[in-house]
A and B are shown apart, each in its own frame.
Chain A
Amino acid sequence: MYEIRIHSRGGQGGVTAAKLLALAAFRDGKYATACPFYGAERRGAPVVSFVRIDDEPIKIYSQIHEPDLVIVLDTSIMDVVDVLQGLKAGGTVLLNSAHPLPGCNGTCRNVDLTGIALGENLVVAGSPILNTPVLGALAKMSIVTLPSAEQAIREMFADERNVKAAEAAYEELKV
């Protein structure tokens, strides 16, 4: 089982990113669950969502305490949340940032999702849309396939700019 924890702020689309990722994995023929943790969150407050991907049906409903992959959609959260907590030895971190994580002793990836979203003019209510470009980055990391990522995005969003943003993230992320 591959376990993913997504850190974001309320309103940034972390919950939708989890659903998109689970849908893409499902389109790859895997079993997947997306469990947003609904707290008393408000717009801008740190929130967390979970995705599990496996070849077998998934029976676990509790939160992910030892993720294989941590995704940070907003690095300013790292001042208040220990995003690396419980990360498995050899686990991976994906940051929405133009700069790599300083002092990362695991496998760290970074891609400027915000810049990509702004480049495609993917902005809703003043906030760049991060949950569709992040799918492209995850495809590059072979968490899901790119065709399934694009299919999942098209199933949930009619605006083709979301697919273009995912493709841009796929191109930009270095693995």
Chain B
Amino acid sequence: MLTIATGNKAVATAVKAARPGVIAAYPITPQTEIVEQLAEYVSAGDLESRYIPVESEHSAMAACIGASAGGVRTFTATSSHGLLYMHEMVHWAAGARLPIVMANVNRALGPGWNTWAEHTDAFSQRDTGWLQVFVGTVQEAYDATLMAFKIAEDERVLLPVMVNLDGFALSHIMQSLETVEIGDFLPAYHLPHAIDTENPCVYGPMTGPADYFRFRWDIERSMRDARGVIADVEREFAERFGRSYGPTEDYRCEDADVVVIAMGTLGKEAEVAVDRLRDEGIKAGSMRLRWFRPFPDLDLAGREVVVIDRDYSFGFGGVVAHSIRSKTGIAPYSVIAGLGGQEVTYNDIADFVRNRHPGEETWFGVSDHV
């Protein structure tokens, strides 16, 4: 069905189609609309699910962990400080190999208090063992959420998935949305190591130095296998529903001399900048990075690269820029822009490309560099 919806509504609609047995969540701006909508579905009888209104995000993830280990599909949503508050349990969910799906509406961290888009919240969970995908449209928020369950629950993966969408810029914008009849796209939830209540035993016991590292390696092995699973699921999604996705969304990259790499809504707006630059004779392309974990292999050989980071690692640099540099050996022009919802237009992005200095870093809007 074709309709028009916000990014938040798109996520809630996809979750309803996925029919999780348990939803546990705590509201936080700008994510609240997702859990409000899901609570309404449950309350109206449109979604048969146990909705647990917990007292904190830490409890939300703890409830999801218990329910997921108990053998049901689970979902939660959060943002910013809420994500940080559940941090301990975020690690636990991955370590316990539970295919929980979480929507994270990317928002800056205080102080100063700010409810607008930034990716630092998600990147602060970078090393937890969660898969992370970043979306750029309302449609993609819906599609990626549906696919997240299938990817997470694949026995080659069995890791949780975080679907990231930009606070306000995408969570509250209205765009067209085509919902699908998912049919048997999502098989019944099956967790091979689910708790068997008929056969009680110890769960998550002490694991000593002789074995612990094996579990860590197993997470990494699954993370590597996840690349193929993601590709399989995205291919099946395209075959069934007609919309194609990949580790990046490439726009006019084939013959590009300079490629802009950004994530989320800035990555979509970069396509408009590319069109402007092409009109001027600058052979630019855009590569919107969708998957951040597992981090994709990128073919950027022979190109100049401009990376826009809507995040920062203090004392180090832009997280995406340094990831690109580490993975490809290319020293990009690193632009720090869009922090806390800072206005960045396609004209600004075109300027980043026009005024690029490969190997250097610049903060958009800051004139006195230290």
- State the A residues within 8 Å of B (CB): 18-19, 22-23, 26, 31-36, 38, 57-63, 65
Contact = CB atoms under 8 A, between A and B. Distances in A.
B119 interface: no
A96 to B, nearest CB: 22
Contacts of B166: 61
A148 to B, nearest CB: 12
Interface of B: 4, 30, 115-116, 166, 168-170, 172-176, 265-266, 268-269, 271-272, 343-346
Given A22-B174, A57-B176, 13 more contacts: A18-B174, A26-B176, A31-B176, A32-B175, A32-B176, A33-B174, A33-B175, A36-B172, A59-B271, A60-B272, A61-B266, A62-B343, A62-B346
A58 B4 contact: no
Contact of A65 (B168, B174, B345): B345
B4 A22 contact: yes
Nearest to B169: A61
A65 to B, nearest CB: 7
Given A32-B4, A59-B268, A38 B172 contact: yes
B349 to A, nearest CB: 9
B152 to A, nearest CB: 28
A33 B174 CA distance: 5
Nearest to A15: B172
A33 B343 contact: no
A60 B265 CA distance: 8
A23 B116 CA distance: 25
Nearest to B30: A38
B295 to A, nearest CB: 24
Contacts of B176: 26, 31-32, 57
Contacts of A23: 4, 174
Given A59-B268, A65-B345, A38 B4 contact: no
B115 A60 contact: no
A62 B174 contact: no
21 contacts: A18-B174, A19-B174, A32-B4, A33-B173, A34-B174, A35-B169, A35-B174, A36-B172, A38-B30, A38-B172, A57-B176, A58-B175, A59-B269, A59-B272, A60-B345, A61-B166, A61-B173, A61-B268, A62-B346, A63-B343, A63-B345
